[in-house]
Amino acid sequence: MSANLQQSTITTAQAQRRPFLGMRHQRLAQRVMVYALLLALSVLFILPFMWMVSTSLKNSEDVFTYPPSFFPTTFLWQNYPRGWTILPFNTFLVNSLIVTFANVIGNLISCSLVAFGFARLRARGRGILFLALLATLMIPREVTIVPRFLLFSQMGLVNTLWPLILPAWFGYAFFIFLLRQFFMTIPTELDDAARIDGASSLRIFFEIILPLSKPALATVAIFAFIGNWSNLLDPLIYIRSQELYTLALGLNLFRGQNFTQFNLLMAVSIITLIPVLTVFFLSQRLFVQGVTLTGMGGR
């Protein structure tokens, strides 16, 4: 009872004080809390990267000392060239570049054409086709991998880079959706004016829509780049000969052969991540925009 009373007097006292000082203090305290939490979480999120770099610079003994030290006692930069030359990683790099760029270009061309159709041209059946397009995003990959494999083996394309490249040239629902969303923000008045001047749909597509959609196209290019660069499943299924290995597949082979050499594994892993990280840092804004434009992560 008395405790209750005390409580209520305190709260009224606080309430009276609030307009002068309390509020400001409270805000400050809240601010400090937010920053403390953010900093702590940032450390948690960055720590694995630091660990990666630190391990890549350790010598073989340091990797397996107990308890492990966070900082390497040596800075063995030669781990990087050493790891890279154990397997023909240069060949793998070239294959990865071929596959990735073929995918990026294929996606840009096919998806922008299709997205233009869905965004700008009226036709019966468009709505149902658009639903079918979105539905393909929900289909588990496992349902299609077996028949796709059979298809490509019928075509004699197993153990070539084609199965990794061809599908991108026939559109990908996520990118089509993203581009369509963007195209719809471009005022139709521009198309109408061009049409009155006698422009064809193809011309409107090339001369009005595409030039105005550079940010969206860049976003698609970035997503396609990053998605394909780290793709392991398809190479694993389709590629047999080592001279056709992509970086991801090569790294997998490397891991199988040098399972305990964590320093070399980390060094090569970091090299394979460099292109992705570079692209990300150069184009962060587009990235975030792409994610929010569709409400989907780019994975």
Partner 1 sequence: MGGGFDRLSPRPSRWTRQAGASTGSALVHPTTVQVRFGHCENGHDHDFTVAGGCMAIQQQIEQPAARPMGKPKLGKLARREEREFYLFISLWIIGFILFDAGPILASFVISFTNWSMMTPPNWTGLQNYQRLIADPLFYTAMWNSLYFGIGSVGFGLIISFLLALLLNQKVLGISVFRTIFYLPSVVSGIAVAILWIMILHQDFGLINTVLSWFGIKGPGWLVQPQWAKPALILMSLWGAGGSMVIYLAGLQSVPQHLYEAASIDGAGPWMKFWNVTVPMMSPVIFYNLIVGFIASLQGFVLVLIMTNGGPANATLMFGLYIYRVAFQFFQMGYASALAWILLVVIMVITALQFLGAKYWVFYEGETVR
- Residues of span 249-288 touching partner 1 by CB under 8 A: 251-252, 255, 262, 265-266, 269-270, 272-273, 276-277, 280, 284-288
| Dist CA 152 CA 221 (whole Å) | 26
How many residues of this chain interact with partner 1, rule: CB under 8 A?
110
Stretch that binds partner 1, among 2-10, 74-82, 88-96, 139-147 (CB under 8 A): 139-147
Task: Write down how long the chain is.
Answer: 299
**Residue 53 and residue 270 in contact, taking contact as beta carbons nearer than 8 Å:** yes
Cis (ω within 30 of 0) for the bond into 88? no
Residues 158-177 that bind partner 1 (CB under 8 A): 167, 169-171, 176-177
Q: Tell me if 52 contacts partner 1 by CB under 8 A.
A: yes
- What track of x and - describes contact with partner 1 for positions 58 through 97 (by CB under 8 A)? -----xxxxxx-x---------------------------
With a CB cutoff of 8 Å and minimum separation 6, the contacts of 198 are none
**Residue 119 and residue 199 in contact, taking contact as beta carbons nearer than 8 Å:** no
Alpha carbon of 99 to those of 77, 174, 247, 272: distances in Å?
30, 19, 11, 15
CB of 71 to partner 1, least distance (A): 12
- In the list 17, 18, 126, 240, the residue contacting partner 1 (rule: CB under 8 A) is 126
Stretch that binds partner 1, among 3-11, 78-86, 87-95, 225-233 (CB under 8 A): 225-233
Amino acid of residue 270: I
Q: Tell me if 128 contacts partner 1 by CB under 8 A.
A: yes
**Residue 208 and residue 191 in contact, taking contact as beta carbons nearer than 8 Å:** yes
- In the list 19, 140, 198, 211, the residue contacting partner 1 (rule: CB under 8 A) is 140
Q: What is the DSSP string of 145-169?
A: HHHHHHHHHHTT-TTSSHHHHGGGG
- In the list 3, 19, 20, 45, the residue contacting partner 1 (rule: CB under 8 A) is 45
Q: Calculate ∠ Cα 66-69-75, nearest 5°.
A: 120
- What track of x and - describes contact with partner 1 for positions 97 through 116 (by CB under 8 A)? -------------x--xx-x
| Dist CA 269 CA 255 (whole Å) | 10
Stretch that binds partner 1, among 73-81, 83-91, 94-102, 126-134 (CB under 8 A): 126-134
Q: Tell me if 156 contacts partner 1 by CB under 8 A.
A: no
Q: Tell me if 24 contacts partner 1 by CB under 8 A.
A: no
